[in-house]
A and B are shown apart, each in its own frame.
Chain A
């Protein structure tokens, strides 16, 4: 199993550009989520999904969209990048759809918005 994979690993955007961060898992996990990690702060939940076709907002959803058309994939879209979105983004997955058990994290995408 590859586990949770994320692409790209690094990305630089200009203010106003849009892009999609890709996330895939091959463990047949129901629950998937996106976090951002900033220095001195804990991981903050952006969006999550408890199964294909179901998504919901987390703690910091503004400026981001998600969709879940398959169990395996959970892309994160930045609609119009802003410098405040400079961060490291992690995708995670967990077996249970309704109850968050221990999560498996991807390697992260380091995003810089200039």
Chain B
């Protein structure tokens, strides 16, 4: 059974304090690892897609990386506006998409 696990569940950071979020996955033949950002009361917003181990993508203070078993979302020098829940999802070779429960990040000024 496909499974995606995110850790930690919650992360509280001081502004400027860099950290990483983890997304561990077990899916049949990965066909894409997705990261989304979700603000309270809103729908998820697409951030990145990674397709193969070793791939990296960056957007502002966020960088996503991928290995054969997990993905990391690195937040460098976060600002309060980076506070959100970050979701990852893995797509298997039969194109099913499995979401993790998310990591809620709070950045204090």
Contact = CB atoms under 8 A, between A and B. Distances in A.
Interface of A: 4, 35, 40-45, 90, 92, 98-108
Chain B binding site: helix, strand, loop or mixed by DSSP? strand
Interface residues on B, range: 20 to 34
Contacts of B101: 40-42
Nearest to B88: A42
A42 B91 contact: no
Interface stretch (B12-20, B40-48, B62-70): B40-48
Interface in B66-89: 87, 89
A69 to B, nearest CB: 23
A71 B14 CA distance: 45
B102 A42 contact: yes
The 9 A-B pairs with the shortest beta carbon distances in the complex, nearest first, are: A105-B43, A42-B99, A102-B46, A43-B99, A105-B44, A42-B101, A42-B100, A90-B43, A106-B43
B44 A43 contact: yes
20 contacts: A35-B99, A41-B101, A42-B102, A43-B87, A43-B89, A44-B99, A90-B43, A90-B44, A92-B43, A98-B95, A100-B32, A101-B49, A102-B34, A102-B46, A103-B46, A104-B46, A105-B36, A105-B44, A106-B43, A108-B43
B11 interface: no
B107 interface: no
Contacts, number: 46
A87 to B, nearest CB: 14
Contacts of A102: 34, 46, 49
Interface in B93-108: 95-102
B38 to A, nearest CB: 8
A89 B96 CA distance: 19
B29 to A, nearest CB: 14
Contact of A45 (B34, B44, B87, B97): B97
